[in-house]
Amino acid sequence: MHSKRSYIHAKESFLHISSISFPSTVPTNQDSGTSSAQKSPNTMSAKDCSNHGYYCRERKFYRHFCRCIVFLLFIGGLSVLFVWLLLRPTKPTFSLQSLSVLNLMLSNTYQSYNLTVLSATLQLTIFTRNPNSHIGIYYDHLRTVASYRNQQITSSTTLPAAYLTSGDSVIWAPYVSNPSSGAILAPSLGHALAQDQAAGILLLHVVVMGRLRWKVGTWVSGGYHLHVSCPAYLSTGSNGGVFRFMQMPGCTVDI
Q: What domain range is 165 assigned to? A: 93-254
Q: To 10 degrees, the CA torsion angle through 141, 146, 147, 153?
A: -100
Domain contains 105: yes
Closest Cα to residue 122, out of 207, 228, 238? 207
- CB atoms < 10 A from the CB of 156, how many? 16
Domain contains 135: yes
Please state, in angstroms and rounded to a whole number, the distance separating the CA atoms of residues 155 and 148. Answer: 13
Tally the domains of the chain: 1
Task: Tell me the pLDDT tens digit for each residue of 203-247.
Answer: 999 999 999 999 988 888 889 999 999 999 999 876 667 888 988
Give the best-scoring range by mean pLDDT among 25-39, 51-65, 166-180: 166-180
pLDDT at 41: 47
> Of 29 and 240, which is predicted with more confidence?
240
Closest Cα to residue 210, out of 131, 151, 133, 126? 126
> Of 29 and 229, which is predicted with more confidence?
229
- Mean confidence (pLDDT) of the chain: 80
Domain contains 29: no
Q: Cβ(197)–Cβ(119) under 8 Å?
A: no
Domain contains 10: no
Task: Identify residue 43 by its one-letter amino acid code.
Answer: T
pLDDT at 17: 52
Task: Tell me the pLDDT tens digit for each residue of 43-92.
Answer: 555 555 555 555 676 777 778 888 888 888 888 877 777 766 666 789 99
Q: Binning pLDDT at 50, 70 and 90, where does residue 127 land?
A: very high
Domain contains 232: yes
Domain contains 137: yes
pLDDT at 7: 53
Domain contains 231: yes
pLDDT at 153 over 80: yes
Domain contains 169: yes
